[in-house]
Structure 1
Amino acid sequence: MARRANASGCADCLPPGANRSLGPPPAPAGAPGVLAGVLIFTIVVDIVGNVLVILSVYRNKKLRNAGNIFVVSLSVADLVVALYPYPLALLAIFHNGWTMGTLHCQLSGFVMGLSVIGSVFNITAIALNRYCYICHGLRYDRLYTRRNTCLYLVLTWLLTALATVPNFLVGSLSYDPRVYSCTFAQTASSSYTVCVVVVHFLVPLAVVSFCYLRIWTLVIRVKSRVRPPESRRQRTQTSDLRNFLTMFVVFVLFAVCWAPLNFIGLAVAIDPVRVAPNVPEWLFVMSYFMAYFNSCLNAVVYGLLNQNFRREYKQILLSLCAPRTLFLDSSKCGTEGMKSKQSPAVTHNHLMEANL
């Protein structure tokens, strides 16, 4: 790739009032090819995997429940970045600079923010759903009626949109040539960056950690009382816990992939003059692409850990040979869904009743 005069990016894409003479340096030599490879792989796996997740829930009525509504919502959040911001970043890599203009720069940065914050809030909603399902089973059916679940989903995306809009007020969306993306500029406003990291990452992380800690505590207590032979309730319990484990792994992977970028942003915001110039460029670029890569992992986790989704994936791929069957209901094929009604064996209130 030939280096061009505009390799430092689109000057008009910088936020208002930004010091253009102190813009970030371009990505190091040799990095564009590696970053392009990572992006291409991420885009392909992201689109294929999340389409499989959405189709799986659409095709199988047994998978259409309150918990999986948020799973589909999370897949949509992951999917949108593969359809718009990532391809634009790929074009920027090929052209060695941003050539799509200010409008696409701001819009792609906004969509990226919607996806990231939407993922955080959906993972939080999933954790709260699993917490109510396992730890407060007697209240679950009342809390997660179809109407309430739809309201929770709307609220999740409404909060996501409200959390993303301030980027335009602060002017924090700009092109960064190190990662070839129009994205959140950590140095645009120190106070806003701290607020973003705390409200959009640390607080949801604390809520999700609390939910899963309580669930794990109950799981350990239940496991310690299990007695052979295995009963039907215990098999149901095992299925429920496997579904919980799947969502817990999704949360852990999200936290691992996004933690480096958020902690770098927090450090830069606290002392931008000293920290920003001393952050190794390779670390900054790696943290960004770790975060980008997370969008393709969730669908893979469902396929590896959840036999219901794995079975649906296989049926969908086989249906490609007969496209007319692709959108048919497959719930009669024996898929064991994540039931919307609690299993007594995994609820705190029915521990004694289940004789565990």
Structure 2
Amino acid sequence: MEEENVKNTTITMATRGMTRTLNSSDSAKSDQSLLDSQLPILYTYITLMIFTSLVGTVGNIVVIVAVVTSKKLRVLQNVFIINLAVADLLVTALVNPFAVIGALDMGKLFYRLPALCEFIATMVVTSCGCSIWSISAVSVNRYIYICHRVIYSKIYNQRTLPFMVIGLWLIAFLLDLPNYLGWGDHIFDTRQLLCNYDYSYNLSYTRYHLIALGVIVPVCVLCYSYFRIFMTFRSSSRRMRQHATNPSSSQKEKPQTADRRVLKTVAIICIVFLVMWTPYSIIVVFDLHYQFWWFLLASFMAFTNSSVNFLVYAIDRNFRQAYSDIWKRIVSRCDCLVTKSDAIVTTGRKKTGSDVNDEITESSGNTNVAFESSMTSNVTSNYL
């Protein structure tokens, strides 16, 4: 009976999306029928979260392997791609699985282990923040490469890139630091079914620090970089039309094909990012917590951004080729394992009667040949 009361209490937490402490079972009975009607939505959320976690984890690992193993991708600027993949991997391989656990047991694990909840909440803010800022860093890198190519090597080189990567993680950590200093707080958020920062604990922290520094600023940087790249290409196209009568001049003004691919990739990254994070930002900034399922959907979309970034890179031909090479190596390795397995099965199969007769015949033939060879050798020796 007591266990049933606890179960009803946790159901109330999930249904209302507003309660931070356990309520009595009496208040849960009125919401039982509502939750029963919405269980398919919860199960769908869990299924999708598991699927995106698996796909995102494999995809981000493939991105890291592709950059490390491909000669065309093993360049300095792709350090930001690896950093983005690592941040996304933390989301897909660590944060999302705990989101599934939170949805399955309605946070009972995290109530028993508050230290684990603190750790997961820190990883949520830090990894998502670093992912967003890494996307922004990629766009800035491409902007300087295309629009200010003369100074590019002075800004991005082997000495400066490590400090830039460390700076991205430092910014991400500063996003969560106020939660340890009393400005914010970490809780098991029943609206997301996950340990996260408590956005309603102090709205000034949420609006003016976390969302401003963690979403709005990198989005502005991303949009500005894309806009400047776009204007550079537009200006180049205009100069091409003005010098159409001079082939040599127009050739100089013609943007490189690789730069056009960069423009397309940055544009799609910007669009995907805005689509995934805008609903969550609006709900948090305006404190629209009255609808539990809408909040859960917005959170799911924000976390899914870490699972689809590797697909955006496939727009680039070099990444597609690297993905293809990795797949071919995996298939080749599997074929080798199958071949070895078949060989073991063939050599290790049970001998039949015909196999024994063949071996006796072969053995007898070898014995006769050896005997004849020995006799010939003796005769020759005696003759000599």
Q: Is the 8 A contact 2:66 2:322 kept in 1?
A: yes
Structure holding more helix per residue: 2
Percent identity (aligned): 28
Q: Which has the larger radius of gyration?
A: 2
Give the conservation status (yes or no) of the 8 Å contact 2:239–2:253.
no
Partner of 1:120: 132
In structure 1, what is the Cα distance between the partners aligned to 2:96 and 2:216? Answer: 25
For the residue of structure 1 that corresponds to 2:11, the secondary structure is: coil
Farther off after superposition, 218-227 or 234-243: 234-243
Q: Which moved more, 1:57-66 or 1:73-82?
A: 57-66
Partner of 1:169: 181
Counterpart of 1:6 in 2: which secondary structure? helix
Aligned to 1:82: 92
Q: Aligned to 1:48, what secondary structure does the other structure show?
A: helix
Q: For residue 254 of structure 1, what is the amino acid of its counterpart?
A: F
Deviation at 1:235, TM superposition (A): 8.6
**Among candidates 180, 184, 190, match of residue 193 of structure 2:** 180
Instruction: Say whether residues 1:104 and 2:137 are aligned partners.
Output: no
Identify if the C-alpha distance between structure 1 residues 94 and 308 changes in structure 2 by more than 3 Å, giving closer, same or farther.
Answer: same
Partner AA of 2:237 in structure 1: K
Instruction: Check whether the contact 1:9–1:98 (CA below 8 A) recurs between aligned residues.
Output: no
Aligned counterpart for 1:281 among listed residues 286, 292, 313: 292
Deviation at 1:146, TM superposition (A): 1.3
What CA distance in whole angstroms lies between the structure 1 residues aligned with 2:202 and 2:135? 27
Match of 2:359 in 1: none
The equivalent residue for 2:356 is: none
202-211 or 169-178: bigger deviation: 169-178
Name the CA distance, whole Å, in 2 between partners of 1:235 and 1:297: 32
Match of 2:380? none
In 1: Cα distance, 2:143 partner to 2:206 partner: 30
Residue matched to 1:295: 306
Kindly state the Cα deviation for residue 8 of structure 1 after the two structures are TM-superposed: 5.1
Task: Tell me the C-alpha RMSD between the 2 structures.
Answer: 3.0
Deviations 1:15-69 (A, max 9, x none): 9xx7777xxx997433221111110111011011111110010001321223211
TM-score w.r.t. length of structure 1 = 0.78
Q: Does 1:267 align with 2:277?
A: no
Question: 1:185, 1:214 → 2: CA distance?
Answer: 37
Distance 2:277 2:196 in 1: 14
Q: Does residue 237 of structure 1 match 2:251?
A: no
1:208-234 residue CA offsets vs partner (Å, 9 max, x unmatched): 211111111111122334469899978
Between the aligned partners of 1:74 and 1:214, the Cα distance in structure 2 is 22
Corresponding residue SS for 1:147: coil
Matched residues in 1 for 2:170 and 2:12: separation?
35
SS at match of 1:186: coil
One of 218, 222, 226 as aligned partner of 1:208: 222
Structure 1 residues 301 and 261 mapped into 2: Cα distance closer, same or farther (>3 Å)? same
**Compared CA separation, residues 236 and 320, structure 1 to 2 (3 A):** farther
Q: Deviations over 1:104-137 (max 9, x none)?
A: 2111111111111101211121121111101101
Question: What is the CA–CA distance in structure 1 between the aligned matches of 2:273 and 2:204, rounded to whole Å?
Answer: 24
Letter of the aligned partner of 1:294 in structure 2? N
Give the equivalent residue in structure 2 for 1:6. 10
Distance 1:111 1:40 in 2: 18
- Displaced runs of 4 or more, over 6 A: 18-21, 228-236
Unaligned runs of 5+ in 2: 24-30, 335-384
Residue 256 of structure 1 corresponds to: 275
The offset of 1:239, in angstroms, is: 1.5
Question: 1:2-81 maps to which residues of 2 (within 5 A)?
Answer: 4-7=8-11, 28-81=38-91
How far apart in 2 are the matches of 1:240 and 1:143? 19
Structure 1 residues 38, 73: closer, same or farther in 2, change over 3 A?
A: same
Flag structure 1 segments of 5+ consecutive residues without an equivalent. Answer: 269-274, 325-356
The aligned amino acid for 2:11 is A
Secondary structure, aligned partner of 1:41: helix
Contact 1:124 1:208 in 2 (8 A): yes
Paired with 2:107 and 2:133, the residues of 1 have a C-alpha distance of 32
Contact 2:187 2:196 in 1 (8 A): yes
Report the AA paired with residue 190 of structure 2: P
Q: How far does the alpha carbon of each residue in 1:48-105 deviate from its partner, in whole angstroms, 9 at most, with x for none?
A: 1111110010001321223211011111111011221211111222334331421221
